């Protein structure tokens, strides 16, 4: 990605870009012209002060000035200079207001757009590193994109100012101008080298920042594990090292960014010295020389501005590229919603020869799965860990689509249905329950925002959560803490069940939802479930086989295919794989 295309994308994020950009350019041109006039007025001012006749290259202006008495001329020019400089500063301020408005818009848009796209796209960021990069894009890189936007504007205005000043220098003295240009070309070559280095340092710096963020994020999630293994010092040392890398990178970057400033001043002084040495032979006199120096001196500011903005842009380029790539990656939904309305399931779901792999080139997790899930019945899915049970649940919830084969609902490809409507008729509950740091009420309402207090209480009763909710310090208004941390595992599970129940789903998917429960709570949960599931389609992934004896159908999976299916009695009678697994579990439980 080039600087130009980055600049274009950044400007594209601004509201009314078509007006803002010409406005900034217009204000820049006007400001530079006003300043030029102000600077040029030094020529007649100095000529007036030294008592010499005013000789500007514009005869009409000379004649106009000659109309004033000599003692008024100096005052006139001084006054005009002040007016020009005041007006120029007003314009520069307006320009800066536009920049900062654009800057804040870019930050705001990047933050909200990345978040919105992440949530909507359906892409799943299971890996911590991927999540950390996205969080850092929202929290920190977005601000840098704001800075980059200002850098773009700074460059535009500075370049305009430089061009206009250069024109003015030519008007004053083309010979001196050529000399100055030659010196500047050398300076520019040196600055180019600095810019290149800054770009490289920017990339390294970003990599260090990513590593640091990823590690910090991982450690926060692993505090218990770190303590359990007594690895505190190791982790602190590791973070200290990453932080040190970030610090060094940031410092090198700042050092490089600060260079053009210093370098600009030194080279300008050298140029002035060279000019003083040559001016003796220049016939145009002291006044022109003073004006030339004044313009040249003023030119330093926009020149430095342009160069430092360029160095900054180069440093920010990798950051922008990373943020834009996240935005592109999530711009389109991973799962495209269908257009067919879904009002409820009549017959059931049929998986036909479904194959699935998580990524191109990886082994297939489901390898030609064919399965009927009748509506209104309970289907239990069992099998060893890694068999693909959770993946199957993901396909039913349409969190993912099959790589090959088809999932049909009442004979229609699931992909044809409106995704939101499909999900509206479904509840899912997994082993790792996620509760928001909000009240119990809000967490249950997450299942159906329109539910009234009666519906909430009813759901809590079914989930066997009513008693403990009432006993909480503030009842339904008790906050559950980050991820529900103030509740026990069983309580979290029952709130999650209430949340699923209040949704009143046709299809209820439970993925090892009772694993974290103790035996007594699990029995209560099973009873609750049995009551709730009447007339609904239930798909239960279960580890403890004793809990699924009552299922209408049991499907045993292994390595991505169905190896046995039937009722509990059928499978036990068959004395096959399910029977063996069941017996093994029974003996193990009896031995406990
Ligand atoms: P089960 O629920 O039966 O234990 P899963 O459906 O969770 O099985 O996993 C089946 C296989 O898919 C496993 O080998 C697992 O490592 C792999 N797998 C699960 N989730 C992902 C994922 N997000 N990315 C890549 N592979 C995955």
Examine the pLDDT at 567 and tell me if it is beyond 70.
yes
Atom of ligand 1 nearest to the CA of 126: 23
Is the minimum distance from the CB of 339 to ligand 1 under 6 angstroms? no
Measured distance CA(30)–CA(301) in Å, rounded: 17
Q: For 462-474, how does the pLDDT look when each residue is reduced to its tens digit (9 = 90+)?
A: 888 888 899 999 9
Atom of ligand 1 nearest to the CA of 394: 6
Q: How far is the CA of 381 from the centre of ligand 1 (A)?
A: 15
Is the minimum distance from the CB of 560 to ligand 1 under 6 angstroms? no
Mean predicted confidence (pLDDT) in 342-355: 93
Tell if the pTM clears 0.75, that is, is over it. no
Q: How far is the CA of 64 from the centre of ligand 1 (A)?
A: 87
Mean predicted confidence (pLDDT) in 173-187: 81
Give the CATH superfamily of 431-504: P-loop containing nucleotide triphosphate hydrolases (3.40.50.300)
Q: How far is the CA of 214 from the centre of ligand 1 (A)?
A: 23
Examine the pLDDT at 519 and tell me if it is beyond 80.
no
Is there a shared CATH topology between the 338-425+507-519+536-592 domain and the 431-504 domain? yes
- Kindly report the protein residue whose alpha carbon is nearest to atom 22 of ligand 1: 358
Q: How far is the CA of 367 from the centre of ligand 1 (A)?
A: 13
Is the minimum distance from the CB of 385 to ligand 1 under 6 angstroms? yes
Is the minimum distance from the CB of 389 to ligand 1 under 6 angstroms? yes
- Residue 422, CA distances (Å) to 415, 451, 513, 522 in order: 10, 19, 21, 29
Is the minimum distance from the CB of 93 to ligand 1 under 6 angstroms? no
In the numeric block, the tokens 């008729």 are attached to 425
User: What are the residue boundaries of the structural domains of the chain, listed by start?
Assistant: 3-327, 338-425+507-519+536-592, 431-504
In total, the chain counts a number of residues equal to 592
- Kindly report the protein residue whose alpha carbon is nearest to atom 14 of ligand 1: 386
Q: How far is the CA of 366 from the centre of ligand 1 (A)?
A: 10
Bigger pLDDT: 587 vs 97: 97
pLDDT for 592 equals 67
Is the minimum distance from the CB of 391 to ligand 1 under 6 angstroms? yes
Least confident range of 283-297, 414-428, 429-443, 538-552: 283-297
Examine the pLDDT at 127 and tell me if it is beyond 70.
no
Q: How far is the CA of 559 from the centre of ligand 1 (A)?
A: 10
**How many CB atoms within 10 Å of residue 319?**
25
Q: How far is the CA of 435 from the centre of ligand 1 (A)?
A: 23
Examine the pLDDT at 547 and tell me if it is beyond 80.
no
Bigger pLDDT: 432 vs 500: 500
* CATH code of the domain occupying 3-327: 1.20.1560.10
Backbone phi and psi for residue 553, each to the nearest 5 degrees, phi listed first: -145, 135
- Kindly report the protein residue whose alpha carbon is nearest to atom 5 of ligand 1: 388
Tokens for 75? 């005052």
Which of 388, 396, 509, 541 to mutate to test ligand 1, by most ligand atoms within 8 A of the CB atom?
388
Q: How far is the CA of 436 from the centre of ligand 1 (A)?
A: 26
Examine the pLDDT at 538 and tell me if it is beyond 90.
yes
Is the minimum distance from the CB of 365 to ligand 1 under 6 angstroms? yes
Which of 391, 510, 556, 560 to mutate to test ligand 1, by most ligand atoms within 8 A of the CB atom?
391
Q: Is the dihedral of CA 331, 332, 337, 338 positive or negative?
A: positive
The region, left, alpha or beta by phi > 0 then psi within -120 to 50, assigned to residue 398 is left
Q: How far is the CA of 404 from the centre of ligand 1 (A)?
A: 17
Examine the pLDDT at 283 and tell me if it is beyond 60.
no
Examine the pLDDT at 382 and tell me if it is beyond 90.
yes
Which of 365, 380, 561 to mutate to test ligand 1, by most ligand atoms within 8 A of the CB atom?
365
Backbone phi and psi for residue 173, each to the nearest 5 degrees, phi listed first: -160, 115
Contacts 24+ apart (CB under 8 A), 360-365: 364/403, 364/560, 365/391, 365/560
Q: How far is the CA of 191 from the centre of ligand 1 (A)?
A: 53
Is the minimum distance from the CB of 542 to ligand 1 under 6 angstroms? no
Is the minimum distance from the CB of 337 to ligand 1 under 6 angstroms? no
Which of 123, 125, 358 to mutate to test ligand 1, by most ligand atoms within 8 A of the CB atom?
358
Question: Strands, DSSP E only, in 475-514?
Answer: 507-511
The region, left, alpha or beta by phi > 0 then psi within -120 to 50, assigned to residue 368 is left
Angle subtended by helix axes 174-221 and 128-136, to nearest 10 = 140
- Kindly report the protein residue whose alpha carbon is nearest to atom 15 of ligand 1: 386
Q: For 408-456, how does the pLDDT look when each residue is reduced to its tens digit (9 = 90+)?
A: 999 999 999 999 999 999 999 888 788 888 899 999 999 999 999 999 9
Q: For 148-167, how does the pLDDT look when each residue is reduced to its tens digit (9 = 90+)?
A: 999 999 999 999 999 999 89
Is residue 133 a contact partner of residue 322, using CB atoms and an 8 Å limit?
yes
Measured distance CA(256)–CA(308) in Å, rounded: 9
pLDDT for 442 equals 93
Measured distance CA(176)–CA(289) in Å, rounded: 9
Is the minimum distance from the CB of 126 to ligand 1 under 6 angstroms? yes
Examine the pLDDT at 521 and tell me if it is beyond 60.
yes
Q: How far is the CA of 391 from the centre of ligand 1 (A)?
A: 6
pLDDT for 196 equals 85
pLDDT for 69 equals 79
Q: How far is the CA of 192 from the centre of ligand 1 (A)?
A: 51
DSSP states of 210-278: HHHHHHHHHHHHTHHHHHHTT-HHHHHHHHHHHHHHHHHHHHHHHHHHHHHHHHHHHHHHHHHHHHHHH
pLDDT band for position 51 (cuts 50, 70, 90): low
Q: For 383-395, how does the pLDDT look when each residue is reduced to its tens digit (9 = 90+)?
A: 988 999 999 999 9
Is residue 456 a contact partner of residue 476, using CB atoms and an 8 Å limit?
yes
Quick one: which of 73, 275, 56, 302 has its CA closest to 172? 56
Give the CATH superfamily of 338-425+507-519+536-592: P-loop containing nucleotide triphosphate hydrolases (3.40.50.300)
Please state, for a pLDDT cut of 90, what percent of the chain lies above it: 34
pLDDT for 134 equals 83
Tokens for 336? 């495209």
Atom of ligand 1 nearest to the CA of 541: 2
pLDDT for 280 equals 58
Q: How far is the CA of 383 from the centre of ligand 1 (A)?
A: 13
Q: Is the dihedral of CA 377, 383, 386, 387 positive or negative?
A: negative
- The mean predicted confidence, pLDDT, of the chain is 86
pLDDT for 548 equals 83
Mean predicted confidence (pLDDT) in 346-374: 92
Q: How far is the CA of 386 from the centre of ligand 1 (A)?
A: 6
pLDDT band for position 279 (cuts 50, 70, 90): low
Q: How far is the CA of 164 from the centre of ligand 1 (A)?
A: 64
Measured distance CA(456)–CA(450) in Å, rounded: 10
- Kindly report the protein residue whose alpha carbon is nearest to atom 12 of ligand 1: 365
Q: For 7-28, how does the pLDDT look when each residue is reduced to its tens digit (9 = 90+)?
A: 888 888 888 888 888 999 999 9
Q: For 198-227, how does the pLDDT look when each residue is reduced to its tens digit (9 = 90+)?
A: 888 888 888 988 898 888 888 888 888 888
Examine the pLDDT at 66 and tell me if it is beyond 80.
no
* 3-class DSSP state of 130: helix
Is the minimum distance from the CB of 390 to ligand 1 under 6 angstroms? yes
Q: How far is the CA of 364 from the centre of ligand 1 (A)?
A: 10
């Amino acid at each position: 990605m080039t600087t130009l295309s980055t600049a274009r994308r950044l400007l594209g994020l601004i509201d009314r870009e078509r007006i803002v950009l010409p406005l900034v350019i217009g204000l820049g041109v006007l400001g530079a012209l006003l300043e030029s006039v102000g600077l040029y007025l030094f020529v007649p001012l100095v000529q007036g002060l030294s008592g010499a006749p005013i000789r500007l290259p514009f005869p009409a202006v000379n004649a106009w000035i000659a109309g004033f008495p000599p003692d008024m001329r100096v005052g006139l020019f001084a006054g005009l200079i002040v007016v020009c400089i005041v007006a120029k500063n007003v314009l520069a301020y307006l320009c800066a207001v536009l920049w900062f408005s654009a800057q804040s818009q870019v930050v705001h848009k990047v933050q909200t757009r990345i978040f919105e796209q992440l949530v909507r796209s359906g892409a799943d960021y299971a890996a911590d590193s991927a999540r950390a990069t996205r969080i850092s894009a929202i929290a920190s890189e977005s601000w840098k994109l704001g800075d980059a936007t200002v850098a773009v504007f700074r460059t535009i205005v500075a370049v305009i100012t430089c061009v206009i000043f250069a024109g003015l220098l030519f008007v004053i003295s083309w010979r001196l101008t050529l000399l100055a240009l030659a010196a500047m070309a050398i300076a520019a070559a040196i600055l180019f080298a600095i810019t290149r280095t800054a770009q490289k340092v920017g990339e390294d710096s970003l990599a260090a920042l990513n590593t640091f963020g990823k590690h910090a994020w991982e450690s926060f999630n692993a505090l218990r594990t770190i303590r359990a293994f007594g690895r505190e010092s190791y982790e602190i040392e590791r973070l200290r090292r990453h932080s040190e890398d970030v610090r060094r990178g940031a410092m090198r970057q700042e050092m490089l960014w600060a260079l053009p400033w210093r370098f600009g001043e030194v080279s300008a002084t050298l140029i002035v010295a060279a000019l003083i040495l040559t001016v003796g032979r220049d016939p145009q006199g002291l006044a022109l020389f003073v004006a030339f120096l004044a313009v040249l001196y003023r030119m330093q500011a926009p020149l430095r501005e342009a160069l430092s903005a360029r160095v900054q842009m180069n440093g920010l380029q990798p950051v922008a590229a990373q943020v834009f790539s996240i935005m592109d990656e999530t711009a389109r939904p991973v799962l495209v919603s269908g257009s067919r309305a879904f009002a409820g399931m009549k017959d059931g779901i049929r998986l036909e020869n479904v194959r699935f792999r998580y990524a191109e080139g990886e082994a297939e997790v489901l390898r030609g799965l064919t399965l009927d899930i009748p509506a209104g019945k309970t289907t239990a899915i069992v099998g060893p860990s890694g068999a693909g049970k959770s993946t199957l649940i993901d396909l039913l919830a349409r969190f993912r689509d099959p790589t090959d084969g088809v999932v049909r609902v009442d004979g229609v490809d699931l992909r044809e249905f409106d995704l939101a409507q499909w999900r509206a008729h479904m509840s899912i509950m997994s082993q790792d329950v996620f509760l928001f740091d909000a009240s119990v009420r809000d967490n249950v309402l997450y299942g159906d925002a329109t539910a009234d207090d009666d519906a909430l209480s009813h759901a809590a009763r079914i989930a066997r959560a009513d008693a403990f909710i009432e006993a909480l310090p503030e009842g339904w208004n008790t906050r559950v803490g980050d991820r529900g941390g103030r509740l026990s595992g069983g309580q979290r599970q029952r709130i999650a069940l209430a949340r699923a129940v209040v949704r009143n789903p046709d299809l209820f998917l439970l993925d090892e939802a009772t694993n974290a429960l103790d035996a007594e709570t699990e029995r209560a949960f099973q009873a609750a479930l049995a009551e709730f599931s009447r007339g609904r389609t239930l798909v239960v992934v279960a580890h403890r086989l004793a809990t699924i004896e009552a299922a209408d159908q049991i499907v045993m999976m292994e390595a991505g295919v169905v190896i046995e299916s039937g009722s509990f009695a059928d499978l036990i009678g068959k004395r096959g794989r399910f029977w063996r697994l069941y017996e093994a579990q029974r003996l193990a439980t009896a031995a406990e």
